[in-house]
């Protein structure tokens, strides 16, 4: 008997909580049915990189850590845009502001922090924001297009990064700070003054020792006034004065809080089965705001939930690395020279280099580096190890130059021990990076990141990763580097397909082994694509690997934001009957379907279906699936044509139904939509479809490569034919040529722009070439059956499907 999975709910879709889930699904992939509830309407993204987005170094898309598909491919139910308002610890359930109620066996609180907004008069005016999320970023970008003067309150790490981003957007930026020098929590006064000088040369202005008094203006801010009577003009005020753990939910639920949610070494709160991790958690009196400690917490919590032995979380020594437009700053441990300690300093005003180390009881306890941060990782490692540094003080301060060796970055990297941590955020050592380059063939920083996650969080270690790449790969670094289909392989689509053909590889595992995948398990990008390529190449021999399909295709329904499903039976050409409508209505009533909606593809969509009702529902409908969820033929939209319309020149309904019946269940690289219009008035919108047919006097125009989605693209004319048989012949040949040559997840519109219409015309021009393509597509279609008929008719399949808590993870 299959073991019922426990229900795990994560409140918070940020970096710390989701990192814990990432670890957990590797350690115990079958243990939990997971629900993640996030207040923002976005997938998990790298909040640290928001400053890079502002500064133009990255796009919003590039900072996404786990995209929407990751949740689906790992069977995780995501409620995005839901804020949890209540925890019922007795009933073990949480309730969101959108009305969702979710039961749990184990609950993780990862509610993060809230930006601290100074309670100044006028703080509620338009143009006063924090710098915390994507929405704040978007506000800054929009404001920069209309206004010029920005004031950032706060001269800490976050404030300076916000200010640099606003400078990049073309704004006149002043940084207000209550203290006499910048970043006083990370830097000593000497380093801070050097940083200020560098930033002033870039155009940043500073108002130090200023105490904000009030925000002036009517509806929108116009200035910031200070308690000394002076003012600073402002069209935008960004408050970056700190963060506070978000504890309101925990507090209202009776969970012990102090500054943060109080947790023990296993991240357990005062309430049984409820844990806290990340910025909201307070461990041994400390609430951490940096990513590395939060990831360490997530790792411990994952082991705890997986039932593995762990020594627990003992706290973290933190480090900070800031890079603002070429200014390198590093700080770790205690720089403030506590009683009983001594410090060593080195300063080079010409080259703009400053170094300071702090030693206590013969151990290195802190370091500050400015201008030359190459030794940062090494110093941080020594601070964490607690080893004696007696006799090595000068070497630690000055680097290898004191021993007569070259002090070049390459020499320093060579000296590092293999176990030394390069990427503190993700715990990646020098030896791991060496293995990625030497054994796994990673020849770019991007490939190393995909293989090890080094430089994948704050990005501060990227120079070290680049240096190690150069050290191990030499002149070969970057040579021949090309984008593969994903980070698991450098091979592109054409190379993979060619090798599968040449060696007649017949399974996903075999492809990965023979073609030397870096990640032997694959990922959510490559597994579905390999599943498609194998099925396309060997339709008679390859057995489709259902677990390598996306969640929607595995369940033959579209998962909705609340975790329910959408069922769309096929209605050929949008033509139905009273009996069919009656059947759909009866099934909808029987299963309490909350909404029945007409779709844009002339079908009926049954929304809000429970997962456990899907098999029985399809059985009672006894209709083919409309495949509204798959990378396959979705719809064939039609107008009434000459059957009723006085303008119609051909039978659009009959032609549409014929095409839909010809190609239903056809697997394609991406979704495919067809349309047939009965005259050039084009009521079926055939000229924005993947394959559009427009009736003209005495024949049909065949249009290809259209898209009516986010990036609208009009079709291009492929050819003009006279008969319906020719329409089917050309459609078959065109779709098969697309199947055999497009990349996975590449719509026809993108494919045609990439290869050019002329190439496609040339491939289909000769009747014998078209016939060969038609034969191949017909062979493939002859082997397909409606997936729901298999489940309904096969009791074994049904039993495997029924458990509500069945995992949707991808296993090899």
pLDDT surpassing 60 at residue 282: yes
Distance between CA 240 and CA 115 in Å, rounded? 7
Which residue range forms the structural domain that includes residue 519? 493-549
- Whether 635 and 772 map to the same domain: the answer is yes
Of 528, 549, 570, at which residue does a domain stop?
Answer: 549
pLDDT exceeds cutoff 50 at 698: yes
Average pLDDT over residues 711-721: 93
Mean pLDDT of all residues in 379-383:
87
CA trace torsion 753, 759, 760, 762 (10° rounding) = 160
Which tens digits make up the pLDDT trace of 102-159? 999 999 999 999 999 999 999 999 999 999 888 899 899 999 999 999 999 999 988 9
What is the structure's pLDDT at 323? 57
pLDDT at 806 over 60: no
Q: Which of 282, 306, 330 is the last residue of a domain?
A: 306
Residue 422 has a pLDDT of 81
pTM score, whole prediction: 0.59
Its sign, for the CA torsion 204, 210, 212, 217, is negative
pLDDT at site 553: 79
- The pLDDT value recorded for residue 161 is 87
User: Which of these, 800, 25, 295, 16, lies nearest to 8 by C-alpha position?
Assistant: 25
User: Is 90 exceeded by the pLDDT of residue 453?
Assistant: no
Judged on CB neighbours under 10 Å (0-12, 13-18, 19+), 18 is buried
3-class SS at 54?
Answer: helix
For residue 408, pLDDT over 80 is answered with: no
The Cα 801–Cα 812 span in angstroms is 19
In a domain, 423, yes or no: no
And the tokens for 115? 């930006």
If pLDDT is split at 50, 70 and 90, which confidence band does 402 have? very low
In a domain, 805, yes or no: no
CATH of the domain at 687: 3.30.413.10
Cα separation, 181 vs 156, in Å, equals 10
Query: Do 643 and 525 belong to one domain?
Result: no
Residue 429 pLDDT: 80
- How confident is the model at residue 812, as a pLDDT? 25
The total domain count for the chain is 4
Asked if residue 720 is part of any domain, the answer here is yes
Q: pLDDT for 748-757, tens place per residue?
A: 999 999 999 9
423 annotated among ligand-binding-site residues: no
Cα separation of 23 and 42, whole Å? 21
Q: What is the pLDDT of residue 704?
A: 97
Q: Is residue 330 part of a domain?
A: no
Query: Do the beta carbons of residue 559 and residue 72 sit within 8 Å?
Result: yes
Considering the domain architecture, whether residues 255 and 138 belong to the same structural domain is answered as no
Pick from 400-414, 502-516, 582-596: least confident: 400-414
In a domain, 411, yes or no: no
- Residue 807: pLDDT band with limits 50, 70, 90: very low
Task: Identify the bridge partners of residue 261 per DSSP, sorted by sequence position.
Answer: 257, 281
Beta strands in 167-318 (DSSP E): 172-177, 205-208, 212-217, 221-226, 231-233, 236-239, 243-245, 261-263, 274-276, 281-283
To the nearest whole percent, how much of the chain has pLDDT over 90? 55
Residues 194, 257 share a domain: no
Cα(241)–Cα(369) distance, integer angstroms: 24
Structure tokens at 274: 């409820």
Same-domain pairing of 185 and 249 = no
Say if residue 254 is in the same domain as residue 231.
no
Is 354 a domain residue? Answer: no
Buried b (16+ CB within 10 A) or exposed e, 296-312: bbbbbbbbbbbeeeeee
- CA distance linking residue 522 with residue 466, whole number of Å: 25
CATH number, domain of 264, equals 3.50.50.60
Q: Is residue 410 part of a domain?
A: no
pLDDT at 798: 39
End-to-end CA distance of the chain: 23
How much is the average pLDDT of 44-57?
A: 80
347 within a domain of the structure (yes/no): no
Say if CB 594 and CB 621 are below 8 A apart. Answer: no
Q: Is 334 exposed, middle or buried (0-12, 13-18, 19+ CB in 10 A)?
A: middle
Going 600 to 606 to 607 to 609, the CA torsion angle's sign is negative
Highest-confidence range of 164-173, 513-522, 682-691, by mean pLDDT? 682-691
- Give the lowest-confidence range in 110-114, 457-461, 724-728: 457-461
Confidence of residue 801 (pLDDT cuts 50, 70, 90): very low
pLDDT per position as a tens digit, 335-370? 888 889 999 999 988 888 999 999 999 999 999 998
Q: Is 280 annotated as a binding residue?
A: no
pLDDT, residue 811, reads: 26
Q: Do residues 674 and 710 share a domain?
A: yes
Residue entry with tokens 């380093």: 191
Q: Do 758 and 777 have their domain in common?
A: yes
Dihedral sign from CA coordinates of 244, 245, 246, 250: negative
Mean pLDDT of 82-100: 95
Q: Are residues 64 and 155 in the same domain?
A: no
* Average pLDDT value over all residues in the chain: 87
**Is there a single domain that holds both residue 66 and residue 196?**
no
Same domain, 86 and 137: no
Instruction: Determine the pLDDT at residue 483.
Output: 63
Question: What's the rounded Cα separation, in Å, for the pair 108 and 119?
Answer: 31
Is pLDDT above 50 for 404? no
Interatomic CA distance for residues 635 and 656, integer angstroms: 9
Which among 283, 306, 329 is the end of a domain?
Answer: 306
Radius of gyration of the chain (CA): 30
Contact 149, 236 (CB under 8 A): yes
Using the CB atoms, write b or e for 411-448: b if 16+ within 10 Å.
ebbeebeeebbbbbbbbbbbebbebbbeebbbbbbebb
Is the confidence at residue 446, as pLDDT, over 70? yes
For CA atoms 243, 244, 248, 254, the dihedral sign is positive
Half-sphere exposure of 661 (CA within 13 A, CB side): 9
pLDDT tens digits for 308-325? 988 899 998 777 766 555
Residue 113: helix, strand or coil by DSSP? strand
Q: What is the pLDDT of residue 459?
A: 67
Alpha helices, H only, 521-667: 526-537, 551-555, 578-590, 614-621, 652-663
Residues 190 and 99 in one domain: no
| 683 annotated as ligand-binding | yes
On the question of pLDDT at 563 being above 60, the answer is yes
Give per-residue pLDDT as tens, 191-206: 999 999 989 988 899 9
């Amino acid at each position: 008997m299959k073991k019922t999975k426990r229900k795990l709910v994560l409140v918070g879709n940020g970096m710390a909580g989701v990192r814990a889930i990432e670890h957990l699904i590797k350690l115990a992939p079958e243990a939990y049915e997971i629900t993640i509830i996030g207040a923002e309407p976005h997938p998990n993204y790298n909040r640290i990189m928001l400053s890079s987005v502002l500064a133009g170094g990255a796009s919003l898309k590039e900072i996404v850590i786990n995209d929407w598909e990751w949740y689906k491919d790992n069977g995780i139910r995501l409620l995005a845009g839901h804020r949890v308002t209540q925890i019922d610890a007795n009933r073990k359930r949480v309730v969101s502001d959108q009305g969702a109620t979710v039961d749990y066996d184990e609950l993780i609180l990862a509610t993060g922090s809230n930006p601290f907004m100074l309670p100044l008069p006028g703080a509620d005016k338009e143009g006063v924001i924090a710098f915390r999320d994507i929405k704040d970023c978007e506000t800054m970008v929009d404001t920069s297009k209309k206004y010029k003067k920005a004031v950032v309150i706060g001269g800490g790490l976050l404030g300076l990064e916000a200010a640099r981003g606003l400078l990049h957007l073309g704004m006149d930026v002043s940084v207000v700070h209550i203290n006499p020098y910048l970043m006083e929590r990370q830097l000593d006064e000497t380093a801070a003054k050097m940083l200020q000088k560098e930033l002033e040369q870039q155009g940043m202005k500073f108002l130090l020792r200023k105490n904000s008094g009030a925000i002036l203006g009517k509806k929108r801010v116009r200035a910031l006034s200070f308690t000394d009577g002076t003012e600073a003009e402002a069209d935008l005020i960004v408050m970056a004065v700190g963060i506070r753990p978000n504890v309101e939910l925990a507090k209202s639920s009776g969970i012990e809080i102090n500054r943060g949610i109080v947790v023990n070494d296993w991240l357990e709160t005062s309430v049984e089965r409820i844990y806290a991790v990340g910025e909201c958690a307070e461990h041994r009196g400390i609430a951490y705001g940096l990513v590395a400690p939060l990831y360490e917490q997530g790792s411990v919590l994952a082991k705890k939930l997986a039932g593995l032995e762990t020594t627990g979380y003992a706290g973290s020594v933190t480090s900070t690395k800031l890079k603002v437009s070429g200014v390198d700053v590093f700080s770790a441990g205690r720089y403030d020279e506590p009683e009983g300690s001594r410090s060593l300093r080195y300063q080079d005003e010409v080259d703009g280099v400053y170094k300071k180390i702090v030693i206590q009881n013969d151990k290195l306890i802190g370091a500050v580096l400015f201008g030359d941060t190459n030794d940062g990782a090494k110093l941080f490692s020594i601070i964490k190890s607690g080893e004696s540094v007696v006799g090595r003080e000068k070497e630690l301060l000055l680097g290898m130059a004191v021993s007569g060796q070259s002090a070049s970055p390459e020499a320093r990297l060579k000296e590092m021990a293999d176990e030394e941590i390069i990427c503190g955020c993700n715990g990646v050592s020098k030896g791991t990076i060496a293995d990625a380059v030497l054994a796994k063939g990673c020849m770019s920083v991007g490939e190393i990141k995909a293989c090890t996650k080094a430089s994948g969080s704050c990005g501060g270690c990227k120079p070290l990763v680049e240096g190690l790449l150069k050290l191990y790969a030499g002149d070969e670094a970057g040579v021949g580097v090309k984008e593969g289909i994903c980070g698991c392989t450098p091979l592109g689509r054409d190379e993979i397909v060619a090798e599968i053909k040449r060696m007649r590889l017949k399974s996903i595992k075999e492809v990965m082994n023979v073609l030397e995948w870096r990640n032997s398990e694959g990922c959510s990008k490559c597994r579905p694509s390999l599943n498609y390529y194998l099925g396309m190449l060997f339709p008679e021999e390859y057995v489709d690997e259902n677990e390598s399909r996306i969640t929607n295709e595995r369940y033959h329904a579209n998962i909705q934001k609340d975790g329910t499903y959408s069922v769309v039976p096929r209605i050929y050409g949008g033509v139905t009957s009273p009996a069919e409508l009656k059947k759909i209505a009866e099934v909808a009533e029987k299963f309490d379907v909350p909404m029945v909606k007409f779709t844009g593809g002339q079908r009926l969509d049954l929304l809000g279906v429970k997962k456990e009702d899907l098999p029985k529902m399809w059985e009672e409908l006894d209709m083919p699936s409309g495949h509204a969820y798959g990378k396959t033929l979705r719809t064939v939209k039609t107008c009434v044509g000459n059957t009723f319309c006085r303008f119609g020149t051909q039978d659009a309904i009959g032609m549409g139904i014929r095409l839909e019946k010809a190609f239903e269940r056809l697997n394609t690289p991406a979704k495919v939509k067809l349309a047939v219009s009965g005259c050039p008035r084009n009521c079926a919108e055939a000229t924005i479809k993947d394959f559009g047919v427009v009736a003209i006097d005495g024949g049909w125009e065949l249009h290809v490569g259209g898209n009516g989605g986010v990036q609208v693209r009009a079709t291009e004319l492929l050819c003009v034919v006279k008969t319906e048989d020719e329409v089917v012949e050309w459609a078959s040949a065109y779709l098969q040529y697309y199947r055999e040559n497009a990349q996975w997840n590449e719509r026809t519109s993108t494919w045609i722009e990439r290869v050019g219409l002329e190439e496609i015309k040339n491939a289909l021009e000769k009747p014998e070439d078209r016939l060969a393509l038609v034969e191949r597509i017909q062979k493939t279609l002859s082997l397909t059956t409606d997936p729901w008929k298999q489940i309904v008719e096969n009791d074994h399949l049904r039993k495997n499907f029924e458990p509500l808590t069945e995992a949707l993870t991808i296993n090899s």
